[in-house]
Amino acid sequence: MADFDQELDATGLNCPLPILRAKKALGGMTGGQILHIIATDPGSVKDFEAFAKQTGNELMESKEEGGKFLFLIKKV
């Protein structure tokens, strides 16, 4: 796991909350910083890909670990 600047626990939350919380967290960060997101919503895997593609933020990593979905997003 790479280093990150901020962590967002989105476990137990369902669509569209993980995306909305991530957007809010990124809003408080500066360009180049990395947000680590922990989610349990299986739909979030496709959603974070789509989110990154549309907002320009970079999805550096997306993986599943012990039933949780982990993402690293670098703020553009």
Partner 1 sequence: MSDKKLAIIATKGTLDWAYPPFILASTAAALDYEVQIFFTFYGLQLLKKKLSLQVSPLGNPGMPMPMGMDKWFPVLGTAIPGMQSIMTMMMKNKMKAKGVATVAELRDLCNEAEVQMIACQMTVDLFDMQHNEFIDGIDYGGAATFFEFAGEADITLYI
**Residues contributing to the site for partner 1 (CB under 8 A):** 12-17, 19-20, 22-23, 40-41, 51, 54-56, 76
Q: How far is the CB of 56 from partner 1 (least distance, A)?
A: 4
Peptide bond before residue 18 is cis, with ω within 30 degrees of 0: no
10 is catalytic: no
- Between 8 and 41, whose beta carbon lies closer to partner 1? 41
Active-site residue among 15, 20, 50, 76? 15
